[in-house]
Structure 1
Amino acid sequence: MFMSEVADDRADDSTEERGLPKSMVDRTLLILGTFQNRQRRQTLSEISRSTGLPIATCYRIVQRLTEWGALEKGEDGRYYIGLRLWEVAALAPQPSRLQRVARSFMQDLFEATGHATHLAIRDGLELVSVERFHGGRRPVPRPIVGGRYPMHATAIGHVLLAYAPFKVREEVLKGPFERFTSRSLTTRADIEGVIERVRHVGYAICDRHVDELHCSVAAPIYGQSGAVVAALSVAFTDRDVNPLTQVDLVRVTARRISLLLKSTGRPQDPFSTR
């Protein structure tokens, strides 16, 4: 793969690249990994700065990725994830089956409450947004489906963290914890207390931990093995809404999704166990 570029890069072992990936595959993955929530469109210079790779190396790899369709180049000169890479990613079994099972229930929950609904799974030390329904009243277009977010700052993250393997919890609890608002939890003790409560009561509530507007309520979704494979939440800005009044609706919906996942699941849940 990319044999001519591989040959070129073997001769490009400058001190500037010392400590950076040497193989073409690793460099390609490094470049693709720079496209995230806050960097959805990037210039070649921005990609070079993000990766630490020389701009000539980035140019060769980005050009090949663009030719294949993994990246596309806009009229403004910025690159973004291409349709062909999206098509490949859509074949992943983890979110696709979960989405198919959960969509109608999420739609019902959205219509019943009028609140934005969000479905997420855990991947490593972060949560990944899988699906969402929202109305025009939601002022911030977040979370982005496919986006990665820290688990310490949201109700849906607290649920996923609470039921994560011990090693994952310990790694996340090492911090640091970004402070988004004055209400954000930023100490290990606070977050440990929250996830202990989640495991006890079976749901989580966050009141303006990520921004100054939103409150959210989340509950776990179980797979065929009985392990938590995802979490469901609603988010709202109406200060007249008592979060506790939303708990049963969210938990019942999560339970219905769990039951259908168990009845249509495979011997092993195809969701992240990292």
Structure 2
Amino acid sequence: MAGNTARPGASVTSRSLALLGAFDDEHRRLTLTELAARADLPLPTAHRLVGELVGWGALSRTRDGHYVVGRRLWDLGLLAPVQTGLRELASPYLHDLYGATLATVHLAVRDGLEVLYLDRLRGNTSVPIVSTVGSRLPLHATAVGKVLLAHAPPEVRQEVLGNLTRITAYTITQPGTLQRQLARVLRDDHATTVEEMSPGACSVAVPIRSGTRVVAALGMVVPSLKNDRPRLVAALQVAARGIGRRLPAETSEPQSR
């Protein structure tokens, strides 16, 4: 993911947000010079604002002079409804799934054109995992993403289908092929991937419903789906129904666009 592409506004708030926005999955530790460059700010301005952000707790300075996201931002993030509501309700079911399968278990929602991972329990297998709590991945290359994309508004599907980036040799980049897969997701009520996000990793996911509306996806990552797919789908569906029964019918998790 790249840094900010638009110049920050003149206000202190917009410049401070530009500094915080300089961090992403690929840039978790930044020097002051890197922060200033990625936020498109003069070095003296960045130095002053970074000092204030460190004092408030939004950033922390490591012993080697790098800056990282501070604990206070994490504490604030935990107060967001997308965390405190669905994540807390789903947590016991994720632990049950992990205990029964020892596979990596994911809870995710759609955030615009990406999957936002709300929770993850890491399995003890050697399957490569690229997701982390709070990370975002493409909708078209993940099982949880395909579930959410199949149930997304038509304009979201159209935009995703128009920009299918290749991540591995097995990523689906043909719009027609993905459209047929999404139709099967709606028919079979689950989605799968085979090495589309990471070589050596397969995934399977099902929708979580609040009433009749799909609000999230529950998935697992395993080395292979050849023999265990029916068992894994059944386990996921039982857990998803359990989570759904605890959600109020009017639940509306924030999903941009």
TM over 0.5: yes
Choose which of 185, 189, 192 in structure 2 pairs with 1:198: 185
Residue 7 (structure 1) aligns with: none
TM-score, normalising length from structure 1?
0.85
Which whole-Å CA distance do the structure 2 matches of 1:239 and 1:104 have between them?
24
Q: Do the aligned partners of 1:215 and 1:243 also contact (CA within 8 Å) in 2?
A: no
Query: Which residues in structure 2 correspond to 1:124-139 (within 5 Å)?
Result: 124-139=112-127
1:51-82: per-residue Cα shift (whole Å, max 9, x none)? 22222222222121111100101112111110
Which whole-Å CA distance do the structure 2 matches of 1:242 and 1:233 have between them?
14
Structure 2 vs 1, CA of residues 187 and 27 (structure 1 numbering), >3 Å: closer, same or farther? Answer: farther
Which whole-Å CA distance do the structure 2 matches of 1:130 and 1:197 have between them?
25
Query: Which residues in structure 2 correspond to 1:107-186 (within 5 Å)?
Result: 107-175=95-163, 177-186=164-173
Secondary structure of residue in 2 paired with 1:95: helix
- The reply to whether residue 228 of structure 1 matches residue 214 of structure 2 is yes
- The reply to whether residue 187 of structure 1 matches residue 174 of structure 2 is yes
Q: Do the aligned partners of 2:209 and 2:215 also contact (CA within 8 Å) in 1?
A: yes
Structure 1 unaligned runs (5+)?
Answer: 1-16
Q: Do the aligned partners of 1:115 and 1:235 also contact (CA within 8 Å) in 2?
A: yes
Tell me the amino acid that sits aligned with residue 254 of structure 2. Answer: F
Q: Give the number of aligned pairs.
A: 253
Choose which of 219, 227, 250 in structure 1 pairs with 2:236: 250
Structure 2 vs 1, CA of residues 195 and 27 (structure 1 numbering), >3 Å: closer, same or farther? Answer: farther
Q: Do the aligned partners of 1:122 and 1:230 also contact (CA within 8 Å) in 2?
A: yes
Cα deviation for residue 100 of structure 1 reads: 1.3
Choose which of 17, 20, 23 in structure 1 pairs with 2:11: 23
Residue 272 (structure 1) aligns with: 255
Which whole-Å CA distance do the structure 2 matches of 1:228 and 1:203 have between them?
12
Structure 2 vs 1, CA of residues 32 and 249 (structure 1 numbering), >3 Å: closer, same or farther? Answer: same
Residue 209 (structure 1) aligns with: 196
Structure 2 unaligned runs (5+)?
Answer: none
Q: Do the aligned partners of 1:216 and 1:243 also contact (CA within 8 Å) in 2?
A: no
1:105-148: per-residue Cα shift (whole Å, max 9, x none)? 11111121221111011112211111111233245453110111
1:150-172: per-residue Cα shift (whole Å, max 9, x none)? 11111011111111122222222
Structure 2 vs 1, CA of residues 128 and 56 (structure 1 numbering), >3 Å: closer, same or farther? Answer: same
Tell me the amino acid that sits aligned with residue 196 of structure 1. Answer: A
Which whole-Å CA distance do the structure 1 matches of 2:12 and 2:223 have between them?
47
Secondary structure of residue in 2 paired with 1:230: strand
Computed over aligned residues only, the root mean square deviation of the Cα atoms, in angstroms, reads: 2.1
Cα deviation for residue 192 of structure 1 reads: 2.1
Cα deviation for residue 235 of structure 1 reads: 0.7
Query: Structure 1 runs of 4+ off > 3 angstroms?
Result: 17-20, 138-142, 238-242
Which whole-Å CA distance do the structure 2 matches of 1:62 and 1:188 have between them?
44
- The reply to whether residue 65 of structure 1 matches residue 53 of structure 2 is yes
Residue 13 (structure 1) aligns with: none
Q: Do the aligned partners of 1:205 and 1:217 also contact (CA within 8 Å) in 2?
A: yes
Structure 2 vs 1, CA of residues 192 and 56 (structure 1 numbering), >3 Å: closer, same or farther? Answer: farther
Tell me the amino acid that sits aligned with residue 70 of structure 1. Answer: A
Cα deviation for residue 191 of structure 1 reads: 2.3
Cα deviation for residue 40 of structure 1 reads: 1.3
Farther off after superposition, 145-154 or 38-47: 38-47
Secondary structure of residue in 2 paired with 1:152: helix
For the pair shown, which has the larger CA radius of gyration, 1 or 2? 1
How many percent of aligned residue pairs carry the same amino acid? 36
TM-score, normalising length from structure 2?
0.90
Which whole-Å CA distance do the structure 1 matches of 2:62 and 2:45 have between them?
20
Structure 2 vs 1, CA of residues 235 and 38 (structure 1 numbering), >3 Å: closer, same or farther? Answer: same
